[in-house]
């Protein structure tokens, strides 16, 4: 028996792209994966935040590059081309960018629905499509002989909730896409995983419209929520599994969430 088969594998010599890296889960994932030895490409709209994060990671001995972009605006092929041109390869894609604009459907501005679908679904699909040729190459040339896509979904992608119709729809799409893609790509040693957290203490509730925001934040305050690094730990676990182990889906909740 190969003693290495069941052990975690560090990410030295690889490149990881993390979207939504300016805050919350994306930021925590970048920190966690950089500590595992990967070079990280930080993608977000807020350039000053990812510049500060890159500086922090470099002081800790990491390799981080900044790619300021709105992934709902810049085509995925263009963005991935910029990243690979500068960093040389792509081994792991973490689609962490997302928005949660919730409230009763009849009262919702359509611009919120469009924003939700554009960011949570369309941008994720386009970026993943653009990444596939690079991930195929990485699976053949990587020190780990495997490549990874990790999509941050939600428990709302498994159970629909009143007041979150379009958000739930977007996360159902992410979870379904992840599983179908996993089945297509597994034989090529490209692993596809969906992480489905419950309530996480991040900025995501700040963007909910007035009235609903206060109600939602009060619900978060009623329990000990997950922290961004709890979700990042899950992502770190997934991508450091040995080549023959794929975590298709990981659902995680605050202990108190029902």
Spatial neighbors of 40 by CB under 8 A, at least 6 apart, are: 15, 16, 17, 18, 21, 30, 33, 34, 57, 62, 63, 64, 65
Q: Scan for tokens 């009060």, then name that residue.
A: 218
Could you tell me where the DSSP H helices lie in the chain? Answer: 24-35, 47-59, 76-87, 110-117, 124-141, 165-185, 212-221, 228-239
Q: Is the distance from CB of 96 to CB of 29 less than 8 angstroms?
A: yes
**CA angle, corner 185, sides to 183 and 188, nearest 5?**
130
Alpha-carbon Rg for the chain in angstroms: 18
Cα separations (Å) of 53 from 9, 49, 140? 24, 6, 31
* Residue 237 is a catalytic residue: no
Query: Are the beta carbons of 138 and 132 closer than 8 angstroms?
Result: no
Using DSSP, state whether 15 is helix, strand or coil. Answer: strand
Burial of 244 (0-12, 13-18, 19+ CB in 10 A): exposed
Which helix (H) or strand (E) segment is 192 a member of? strand 190-197
Catalytic residue among 161, 167, 220, 237: 167
Catalytic residues: 167
């Amino acid at each position: 028996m190969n003693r290495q088969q069941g052990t975690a594998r560090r990410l030295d010599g690889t490149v990881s792209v993390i979207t939504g890296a300016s805050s919350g889960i994306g930021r925590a994932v970048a920190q966690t994966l950089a500590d595992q030895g990967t070079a990280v490409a930080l993608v977000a709209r807020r350039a000053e935040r990812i510049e500060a994060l890159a500086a922090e990671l470099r002081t800790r001995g990491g390799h981080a590059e900044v790619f300021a972009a709105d992934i709902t605006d810049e085509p995925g092929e263009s963005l991935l081309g910029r990243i690979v041109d500068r960093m040389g390869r792509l081994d792991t894609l973490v689609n962490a960018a997302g928005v949660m604009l919730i409230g009763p459907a009849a009262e919702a501005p359509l611009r919120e629905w469009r924003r939700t679908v554009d960011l949570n679904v369309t941008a994720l699909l386009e970026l993943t499509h653009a990444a596939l040729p690079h991930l195929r190459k990485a699976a053949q040339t990587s020190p780990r002989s495997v490549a990874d896509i990790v999509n941050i979904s939600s428990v709302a992608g498994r159970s629909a909730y009143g007041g979150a119709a379009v958000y739930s729809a977007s996360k159902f799409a992410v979870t379904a896409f992840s599983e179908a893609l996993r089945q297509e790509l597994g034989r090529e040693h490209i692993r596809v995983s969906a992480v489905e957290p419950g309530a996480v203490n991040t900025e995501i509730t700040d963007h909910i419209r007035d009235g609903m925001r206060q109600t939602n934040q009060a619900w978060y305050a009623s329990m000990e929520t997950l922290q961004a690094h709890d979700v990042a730990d899950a992502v770190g676990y997934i991508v450091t599994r040995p080549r023959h182990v794929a975590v298709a889906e990981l659902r995680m909740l605050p202990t108190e969430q029902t």
